[in-house]
Structure 1
């Protein structure tokens, strides 16, 4: 039986040395229109703000972007892989390489759930793309995120079962904020994208623009707050893509929008 737990996470410290912090300031008034809002009104306004300045990357450019955003601060020739936490050569990718230990481009919001074409902006949005071990990426596939499952042999801090995937504690909050961003940024009115939405179950299926599990993601967001690594990565992503993830800049907005759906 899948475990349904009240969250009490012991967050695992990463082996990374302190990263050099990027300038995390944004222009005065950047979020002015969102001040004082909550619920759906806040969600809608953040969607407008999150779209501003966004540049659509090519899928080839994503390789270069991830080599920058996820660079190992201890070794500039390597990237830190998202699920495993392993430091690996930037050049050991799955591009033209079938080695299961190579790294590839993981869509945290599976592209089969709403954007299968490369001309759709979510396909190359690096706010939810991460470098991952190819084998672990394949095992995660397009499963929803939730607690439970068996530890993975290759990377036992991650767990999986037939319908869900639980990432290691150190990236639980990062995962949640990426998905909250996607659900706010893409509401079906631009970027050749459908309205992406979060559900509180693990019943997602290919072609439907939904991902779960909402209330688990909310718990992960609250238990694993934004840290220096995530903040620094965000600033690098902004330089590549031009737009911001409002839930990294202002984490309290997640609860302002979603808390009533889980704790109402």
Structure 2
């Protein structure tokens, strides 16, 4: 698929990091409908020498600020371009005609996207009402947190915060929900946490959008917060990055936004910041 935008200004660094990292990322992901053990992220060393060099040795706010500067250098997609991007980033490794739905976990035809009940649509993992950014170019179109999902399951999740507990979701019973929270299936709990961490670092209120931040509450409404942070940190530990998630990060870096989710490359940075 051709690039949708010209790479961000830091072309030489991006190209070097991509070239070094791409040789190390698994080319064949495990079946994405079941949980898999996480392979060693062998690209991290190469990326530390290039892409992440300004963040090394830092913790807390200093690390968060350094990562914000690094990942804010990106190309941006329109909301309509997100459709085609997700068909690439979330492609089923066992069937190139399909995508894997984040919560439902099923493999579904790339062409069955839309608004009908059994279609898949674009799920904002950081709910777009939490900070009121809608589908605006920027946080509303950032494919590091946009994922394919069944229309009905997406509706059940709505704008709920993340937490443990609840009753099984009818069309995706490996997930549970209650009145104010949603718990994703075990195989993607860490994926969800790392997408939330990415959004909190990428969008800090200096680009016309709200300063997004995880907190340890649920029922955050339209405030620019999402929880529950303590649970998200547990999920990050419980479900480390697998080959599907690592490939997705690399495809976004190489072909679309030209920035990375640092918490996929370095899951331990979540604890170092929060």
Deviation of the 1:45 alpha carbon: 1.1
- Deviation per CA, 1:57-116: give whole Å up to 9, x if none: 00111000000001111111111111011110101011xxx4211000000001111243
Indicate the residue corresponding to 2:217 in structure 1. Answer: 201
Root-mean-square deviation (CA, aligned residues, Å) is 2.2
Tell me, yes or no, if structure 1 residue 41 matches structure 2 residue 69: no
Instruction: Give matches, 1:188-227, under 5 Å.
Output: 188-190=205-207, 192-206=208-222, 208-227=223-242
Q: 1:127 to 1:37 in 2, by over 3 A?
A: same
Match of 2:120 among 96, 103, 126: 103
Query: Within the alignment, does 1:58 sit opposite 2:78 as a pair?
Result: yes
Shift of 1:120: 4.1
TM-score by length of 2: 0.82
Distance change (3 Å), C-alpha of 1:51 and 1:13: closer
Identify if the C-alpha distance between structure 1 residues 248 and 69 changes in structure 2 by more than 3 Å, giving closer, same or farther. same
State how far apart, in whole Å, the 1-side matches of 2:248 and 2:51 are. Answer: 20
Equivalent pairs, count = 239
Residue in structure 2 matched with residue 262 of structure 1 by the alignment: none
Q: Is the 2:36–2:187 contact (alpha carbons within 8 Å) kept by the matching residues of 1?
A: no
Q: CA deviation at 1:187?
A: 0.4
SS in 2 for 1:66: helix
Match of 1:248 in 2: 264
Among 87, 97, 103, the residue aligned to 1:77: 97
Unaligned runs of 5+ in 2: 1-30
Deviation at 1:23, TM superposition (A): 9.3
Which region of structure 1 is more displaced relative to structure 2, 109-118 or 79-88?
A: 109-118
Counterparts of 1:73 and 1:17, CA distance in 2: 13
Is 2:163–2:228's contact at 8 Å kept on the other side of the alignment?
yes
Deviation for aligned residue 1:26: 3.6
Q: CA deviation at 1:41?
A: 1.2
Aligned partner (choices 96, 113, 122) of residue 139 of structure 2 = 122
TM-score of the aligned structures, taking structure 1 as reference length: 0.85
| Aligned counterpart, 1:231 | 246
SS at 2:218's partner residue? Answer: coil
